[in-house]
Amino acid sequence: MQESIFDYPKAYIPTDKREAKEDYFMQLFAWLLQNVDHLAHKYCKKLLLRLEQTNNHIIQQNDFINVETQVTVTSGRIDLVIKINDTIGFICEHKVNSLLK
């Protein structure tokens, strides 16, 4: 059974070191990308169009888009990773109440 938008944010473990709003936003956004028809494809298309060099990649409806949250890397965690056919990827960091701009 598919998780509802209300259950999905429970998938991460909150800590004192992270902003809970940021994690909830990221989890909800990931759920939307995974569950709203064509949203991930439209979002990736928008990101690709913003890049100067895309190797002329035009996203197709049959492209496989994988969305992962809280991906562990050597130096910490990445909020959101989006991959198109395991060849093109986007690393997304979401900030809430952060001094970073």
- pTM, whole model, 2 decimals? 0.75
User: What is the pLDDT at residue 25?
Assistant: 83
CA distance 66 to 77: 17
Count of domains for the chain: 1
pLDDT at residue number 18: 62
pLDDT in tens, 34-62: 999 999 999 998 888 887 665 667 788 88
Going by C-alpha positions, the residue among 67, 72, 24 that lies closest to residue 44 is: 67
The residue segments making up the domain with residue 21 are: 8-92
What whole-number distance in Å separates Cα of residue 59 and Cα of residue 93?
22
CA 48 – CA 54 distance, rounded (Å): 6
Biggest alpha carbon distance in the chain? 43
Beta-carbon-side half-sphere exposure of residue 18 (alpha carbons within 13 Å): 19
Asked if residue 15 is part of any domain, the answer here is yes
In a domain, 99, yes or no: no
